[in-house]
């Protein structure tokens, strides 16, 4: 697959709830010389904590359909969401490692005129920034050093399952902290940093109150260290922290996706980053 282009997989939450994440991602990779291709006809990843729990064959077929779209374009997939990354990456791994499983899934795909050859790779945009671009090239692009003290949230699917992903150490993660600090912002430590936001695995849909108990624990710990912003790399975590604070009195920590933070460091107009769509007002 070509190294300078990706099929951009948007997922569900970003384009519908936080279009600024999509805009910031497009502007960021345009600045870096990448061609992000539209995945016309792409569907849900599908959500790993929901569909896979009920029927693995359906989950695999739906994921493989998205992989087919990128394969036809001759592009690897770029994701901006931990859940999408986890679902597509894991499905792709299973299909590439198990010829019989690939054969069964292709029998399903044949019903819609598709066949997956197993040639696509799935990347998280943060991994591309860290491994492919690197600090020196990235810093050359930054025009506005940032000086915020922020709480970084990794999320559950960024580096797990560890047996097949080699993106970061889930017990002692560092990639996102470093990516944030490339901008001049400081990633401040806080208690239970690796804890779930509360929304994943269908928990938010099944029991919103229980999901918010996780969110409140994290917010309490972030507030204790005076974090100015929460930095995430997943629109679903983003939504849980941003919208969840409406139902949790005493918290008003703005949430910024890493692509939006990089947009600020690149000197992009604030009006182009979609921050006004956030529930918690972002004051810079």
Instruction: Among 97, 124, 151, give the residue marking a domain's end.
Output: 124
Split at pLDDT 50, 70, 90, the class of 116 is: very high
Q: Which CATH number goes with the domain that contains 183?
A: 3.40.50.11810
Q: Establish if 97 belongs to a structural domain.
A: yes
Q: What is the pLDDT of residues 176-204, one digit of tens each?
A: 999 999 999 999 999 999 999 998 777 77
Split at pLDDT 50, 70, 90, the class of 206 is: confident
Q: Establish if 181 belongs to a structural domain.
A: yes
- On average, the pLDDT of the chain sits at 95
For residue 250, the model assigns a pLDDT of 95
Q: What is the mean pLDDT of residues 63-70?
A: 98
Q: What percent of the chain has pLDDT over 90?
A: 88
Count: domains in the chain? 2
Q: Are residues 197 and 138 in the same domain?
A: yes
Q: Are residues 271 and 143 in the same domain?
A: yes
Q: Are 259 and 229 in contact (CB under 8 A)?
A: no
Q: Are residues 116 and 176 in the same domain?
A: no
Q: Which CATH number goes with the domain that contains 50?
A: 1.20.1050.140
Max Cα separation, the chain?
55
Q: Establish if 283 belongs to a structural domain.
A: no
Q: Are residues 110 and 51 in the same domain?
A: yes
Q: What is the mean pLDDT of residues 109-126?
A: 97
pLDDT at 205 over 90: no
For residue 54, the model assigns a pLDDT of 80
What CA–CA distance (Å, rounded) separates 237 from 279? 14
| Token pair for 139 | 């810093």
Instruction: Among 77, 103, 124, give the residue marking a domain's end.
Output: 124
Residue predicted with more confidence, 49 or 19: 19
Q: Establish if 89 belongs to a structural domain.
A: yes
| Token pair for 27 | 């502007």
Other C-beta atoms lying within 10 Å of the C-beta of residue 254: 20
Residues 6+ apart with CB under 8 A from 144: 264, 265, 266, 267
Q: Are residues 216 and 107 in the same domain?
A: no
Q: Are residues 72 and 165 in the same domain?
A: no
What CA–CA distance (Å, rounded) separates 65 from 50? 18
Q: Are residues 116 and 216 in the same domain?
A: no
| Token pair for 242 | 């941003």
For residue 220, the model assigns a pLDDT of 98
Q: State the residue range of the domain holding 242.
A: 134-277
Q: What is the pLDDT of residues 75-89, one digit of tens each?
A: 999 999 999 999 999
Q: Establish if 282 belongs to a structural domain.
A: no
Instruction: Among 99, 124, 149, give the residue marking a domain's end.
Output: 124
pLDDT at 6 over 80: yes
Q: What is the mean pLDDT of residues 256-277?
A: 96
Q: What is the pLDDT of residues 141-180, one digit of tens each?
A: 999 999 999 999 999 989 989 889 989 998 899 999 999 9
Rounded to 5 degrees, φ, ψ at 85 are: -60, -50
Q: Establish if 114 belongs to a structural domain.
A: yes
Q: Are residues 63 and 143 in the same domain?
A: no
For residue 3, the model assigns a pLDDT of 80
Q: Are residues 105 and 153 in the same domain?
A: no
For residue 98, the model assigns a pLDDT of 96
147 CA to centre of own chain: 24
187 CA to centre of own chain: 18
pLDDT at 49 over 80: no
Q: Establish if 129 belongs to a structural domain.
A: no
For residue 208, the model assigns a pLDDT of 78
Split at pLDDT 50, 70, 90, the class of 241 is: very high
Q: Establish if 284 belongs to a structural domain.
A: no
């Amino acid at each position: 697959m070509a190294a300078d282009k990706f099929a951009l997989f948007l997922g569900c939450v970003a384009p519908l709830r936080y279009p600024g994440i999509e805009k910031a991602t497009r502007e960021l990779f345009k600045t870096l010389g990448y061609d992000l291709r539209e995945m016309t006809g792409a569907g849900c990843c599908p959500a790993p904590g929901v569909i896979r729990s009920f029927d693995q064959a359906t989950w695999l077929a739906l994921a493989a359909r998205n992989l087919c779209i990128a394969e036809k374009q001759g592009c690897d997939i770029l994701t901006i969401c931990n859940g999408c990354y986890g679902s597509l990456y894991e499905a792709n791994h299973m299909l590439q490692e198990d010829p019989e499983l690939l054969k069964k899934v292709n029998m399903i795909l044949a019903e819609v005129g598709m066949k997956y050859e197993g040639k696509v790779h799935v990347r998280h945009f943060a991994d591309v920034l860290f491994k492919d671009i690197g600090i020196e090239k990235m810093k050359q692009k930054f025009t506005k050093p940032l000086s915020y003290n922020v709480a970084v949230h990794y999320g559950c699917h960024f580096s797990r399952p560890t047996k097949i992903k080699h993106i970061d150490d889930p017990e002692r993660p560092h990639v996102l902290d470093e990516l944030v600090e490339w901008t001049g912002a400081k990633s401040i430590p806080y208690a239970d940093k690796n804890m779930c936001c509360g929304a994943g695995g269908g928990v938010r849909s099944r029991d919103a109150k229980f999901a918010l108990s996780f969110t409140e624990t994290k917010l309490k710990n972030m507030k204790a260290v005076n974090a100015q912003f929460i930095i995430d790399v997943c629109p679903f975590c983003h939504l849980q922290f941003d919208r969840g604070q409406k139902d949790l009195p005493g918290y008003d920590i703005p949430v910024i996706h890493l692509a939006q933070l990089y947009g600020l460091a690149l000197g992009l107009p604030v009006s182009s980053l979609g921050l006004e769509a956030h529930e918690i007002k972002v004051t810079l």
